[in-house]
């Protein structure tokens, strides 16, 4: 990751039906970074990504992407970006190789056969290149979509929930490839709902209903939020969960399988609340833990105002 800034946008705003879906959004991303977007459905992540890559024109705001003005030079941005949408958007009645060849022709690329062979090899698609795209599983479709995004060797990769619906092995392989691209200087902007993916990003922006709640290097986010957490386990948990939800010092109660995680900003008040519950239910165990990204995500979202309200 270098000091060169490839995304520098300020005040991006977009509305639909009189409702702001992106509200005064700023973002600055250096070359080679993997930058994560987290937020609930409808929070404006996809709209923001489309404005960054030149597919949507913002109502207001300014900035540069890859050195080009987002308002006046969107075509030049689009030529240098690889954009992977949530839904598989290639031709299902064409083979893997035919799809990639079609994309290469759209970009007017030279040395097409060489580029196709390299793309197929990089994503492990060579042996399946004659298979119809419509017959592929979710994980193989994902590989094909990524190959199509990278066939023209873009400097910026925009991924909109790219691993939704694929198995853990395919997700891990996908992220290994993204890190390889980053080491080659490709900048990646990715939206995701998976916390184990979020922690692999160099920085994260939490977005809720058009507004950015926090934007920081991934390692710094827990410290900036300052959320403390306790874990309670045992049986039964439901009465303890009800007691904690109304307790002073408890700002979040979330069920994680056979455990309850209680979180709050005031460490002393939170511990008192947990101890009171433990006194009432001595069969339950309680221990302090570090608040993870999932707890932080739920905490941030719980305080956000839905822009449909």
pLDDT in tens, 117-164: 999 998 899 999 999 999 998 889 989 999 999 999 999 999 988 877
**Of 206, 221, 236, which residue sits at a domain end?**
221
Specify whether 86 is located in the same domain as 206: yes
Domain with residue 268: its CATH number is 3.30.70.100
- DSSP letters, 18-66, are TEEEEEEEEEEEETT-EEEEE--TTSSHHHHHHHHTTSS--SEEEEEET
Do you find a cis peptide bond into 236, omega within 30 degrees of 0? yes
Domain with residue 38: its CATH number is 3.40.50.300
Give the count of domains, the chain: 2
**Residues 19, 16: Cα–Cα separation, whole Å:** 5
Residue 302 maps to a domain: no
Strands (E), the chain: 5-16, 19-30, 34-38, 60-65, 68-69, 81-84, 156-160, 187-191, 203-208, 211-217, 228-233, 252-256, 259-264, 285-290
What is the rounded average pLDDT of the residues 39-57?
Answer: 84
Q: What is the DSSP letter of 128?
A: G
Range with the lowest mean pLDDT among 77-91, 147-161, 282-296? 77-91
pLDDT value for 194 = 78
Residue 307 maps to a domain: no
The encoded tokens of residue 52 equal 């960054």
pLDDT value for 306 = 47
Specify whether 29 is located in the same domain as 131: yes
Beta carbons of 65 and 9 less than 8 angstroms apart: yes
Residue 305 maps to a domain: no
Specify whether 122 is located in the same domain as 238: no
Assign 3-state DSSP to the chain and report helix, strand, coil percentages, each to 5: 35, 30, 35
Specify whether 93 is located in the same domain as 160: yes
Q: What is the DSSP letter of 110?
A: S
* Whether residue 113 has pLDDT greater than 70: yes
**Residues 136, 128: Cα–Cα separation, whole Å:** 9
User: What residue numbers bound the domain in which 22 lies?
Assistant: 5-221
| 3-state class (DSSP) for residue 260 | strand
Specify whether 217 is located in the same domain as 249: no
What is the rounded average pLDDT of the residues 232-260?
Answer: 92
């Amino acid at each position: 990751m270098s000091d060169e800034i490839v995304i520098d946008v300020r005040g991006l705003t977009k509305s639909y039906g009189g409702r702001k879906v992106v509200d005064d959004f700023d973002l600055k991303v250096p070359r080679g970074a993997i930058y994560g977007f987290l937020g609930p459905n409808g929070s404006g992540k996809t709209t923001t990504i489309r404005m960054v890559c030149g597919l949507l024109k913002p109502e207001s705001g300014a900035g540069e992407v890859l050195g080009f003005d987002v308002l006046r030079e969107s075509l030049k941005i689009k030529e240098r970006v690889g954009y992977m949408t949530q839904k598989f958007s290639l031709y299902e009645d064409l083979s893997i190789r035919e799809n990639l060849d079609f994309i290469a022709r759209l970009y007017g690329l030279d040395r097409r056969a060489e580029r196709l062979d390299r793309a197929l090899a990089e994503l492990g698609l060579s042996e399946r290149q004659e298979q119809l795209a419509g017959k592929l599983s979710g994980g193989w479709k994902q590989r094909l979509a990524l190959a199509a995004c990278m066939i023209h060797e873009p400097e910026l990769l925009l991924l909109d929930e790219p691993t939704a619906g694929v198995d853990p092995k395919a997700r891990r392989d996908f992220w290994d490839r993204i890190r390889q691209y980053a080491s080659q200087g490709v900048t990646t902007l990715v939206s995701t709902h998976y916390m184990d993916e979020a922690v692999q990003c160099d920085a994260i922006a939490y977005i809720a209903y058009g507004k950015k709640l926090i934007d920081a290097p991934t390692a710094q986010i827990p410290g900036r939020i300052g959320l403390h957490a306790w874990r309670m386990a045992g049986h039964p948990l439901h009465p303890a969960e009800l007691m904690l939800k109304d307790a002073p010092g408890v700002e979040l109660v979330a069920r994680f399988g056979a455990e309850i995680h209680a979180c709050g900003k005031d460490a002393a008040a939170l511990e008192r609340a947990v101890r009171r519950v433990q006194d009432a239910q001595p069969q339950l165990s309680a221990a302090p833990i570090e608040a993870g990204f999932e707890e932080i995500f739920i905490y941030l979202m719980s305080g956000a105002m839905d822009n449909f309200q």
